[in-house]
Chain A
């Protein structure tokens, strides 16, 4: 563990961005998430870890209502973003998702140019008034995603032509371009090689300055490297949630310990 970061962490603990209370998720007959309570802090990286099928991705998708697109999925309980229930009837998921962005497991750039990929969000949400502003937004998003220097000469090349790591950073730039408050990342590095992984991890650490980041990961090392807080899910339950250092060095629950030491997983 990096001691310097541990100290930094204490300083950064700020206000709560997302509050979840008694969240239940059903997929048809199966009960995928049971009674999850969690507080996600602003300007912090929160990692969800746990064995396959433990519900961590499902829970992540609840946070921007991506589960709405699956017909048989049912969500109960309360999830509050800045104190407002995102499952309230009055809430338009379109508006919600503009504030809670998401990056997926496999890079999924649209079959458009690099520029258009990044400009997509600002355009549909009407965040810019003219082309000059849009150019500015695109550039700043690409810079935030640490991709600008690699693509600035070929903004009109198709996004699908980039390498895997570049594609994933392009997807991050695309998500960042709408300046969301929360950025959800669903195993963003699982389809990438080690070098690209390192670049993306470094990027996540930088993104923390502006956003609240929630990352689902399979790799405990990655959770330890990038996150300040870690939640351990097991069989649909949130088993333990706390400071990353504490989870990895001094887990309270025996199941967490078993997972971390490699006995279950």
Chain B
């Protein structure tokens, strides 16, 4: 038996070559770890700043403040001030009024000598006349007066002020010319054209390809809220009930095992598969209406269920058996034990899980594409309960929709919509964190 002879007198104070090498390896390994964490965090920062950077612009929009004379002859030729009669004046008439108002200003201040009326009018959003018309029809007494009205500038003008459109790009653009941009610049110098906060982005419905300046998230936010309410009402009770059964009542047998594996698998099934299920089962088989928040909510409910069941079971499981034994010991039935003692103690955990599940559902896009929510929807869905059958959009789907359009102005809209979506998610997740912090119990 020979022991390996080691270099005889080893002092602890001097590191030998091998130890030095090993310590260097140790240092390298630690640096890899730090680098990995740093890469992850850097990716997060870049992701968020890229989205914020390109999306903040959506919350500010170029508007023109114009003194508009609401010519009674054009708008209400019979002079009855009857909205039904006045409705005969179409947006074309209002459009002419607005153009005339702008033209008057331009001529008065001699901002663009020689420019034609049509070209001046192109500075204004095509959506503007409809807004003015709605306002006048709601308040017929305005007819005949001169009001100062804020109209949206066209998407290209807006893009010019946000740096998206340049003189060079305008020269190649059939929708805008450099001369028009110069006029816009002068109008800004006059203080008539400015970037202002844009509440319409949150309230307006979607707009067509040529009117990015008026596109908003109104319908999408409403649709998302409808869906989230339905998902919450369905997924939370069903999920909690299923968890209670699986955790507290289910016998330990093959069948229970099957359900458990099944739930775990469902939590990891690609979301698009749920979309296929929704299309095949709810729309084709059961004949529910396409694009409706109800179908979207049902699909998201099925998708969210396993994501609620898993944390709920964990929360129930975390309640120590001593509590159950104490209740059973004083003669409570098993059901009473669970509903009077175990469930209340598990509520914070369940709510946290439910909120996080809901947040995931809110950001889900792919299944909603398949059930037709990607369609262009300009009308707000009706009030619930019947409104859940009307076509609607959802925030993430609206984002996808905007990314598919040609005008780069929609990229800004999509990024802005992401900010809205992230704000919703941030609120929900903070709520979950607060709940957890506040009610967390260590047994």
Contacts and interface: CB of A to CB of B under 8 A. Distances in A.
B80 interface: no
B13 interface: yes
A179 B22 CA distance: 19
Given A127-B4, A137-B4, A179-B6, A94 B12 contact: no
A237 to B, nearest CB: 28
8 contacts: A84-B11, A86-B12, A91-B12, A92-B19, A94-B22, A99-B12, A124-B22, A127-B6
A209 B15 CA distance: 29
A91 B13 contact: yes
Interface of A: 81, 84, 86, 88, 90-92, 94-96, 99, 122, 124-128, 133, 136-137, 140, 143, 179
Contacts of B10: 95, 99
Given A94-B23, A140-B1, A88 B13 contact: yes
Contacts of B15: 90, 92, 95
A15 B12 CA distance: 19
Interface centre among B3, B11, B22 (most CB of A within 10 A): B3
Contact of B2 (A84, A122, A136): A136
Nearest to B18: A126
Contacts of A124: 22
Given A92-B23, A94-B22, A140 B12 contact: no
A84 B14 CA distance: 11
For the complex of A and B, the 9 pairs showing the least CB-CB separation, nearest first, are: A84-B12, A90-B13, A91-B12, A140-B1, A126-B18, A127-B4, A179-B3, A95-B19, A92-B15
Given A88-B12, A124-B22, 6 more contacts: A84-B12, A84-B13, A91-B12, A95-B10, A95-B19, A179-B6
Contacts of A88: 12-13
Interface residues of B, number: 16
Contacts of B1: 140, 143
Nearest to B2: A136
A96 B11 CA distance: 10
A118 to B, nearest CB: 13
A158 to B, nearest CB: 26
Contacts of A137: 3-4
Interface in B15-31: 15-16, 18-19, 22-23
B20 to A, nearest CB: 9
A96 B4 contact: no
Nearest to B16: A95
Contact of A179 (B4, B14, B16, B23): B4
B168 to A, nearest CB: 61
Given A94-B19, A94-B22, A140 B2 contact: yes
A235 B108 CA distance: 98
B6 A96 contact: no
Contacts of B23: 92, 94
Contacts of B19: 92, 94-95
Interface string B109-145: 0000000000000000000000000000000000000
Contacts of A122: 4
Contacts of A126: 18
B26 to A, nearest CB: 9
A81 B12 contact: yes
A111 B11 CA distance: 33
Interface centre among B1, B4, B11, B19 (most CB of A within 10 A): B4
B30 to A, nearest CB: 14
A68 to B, nearest CB: 14
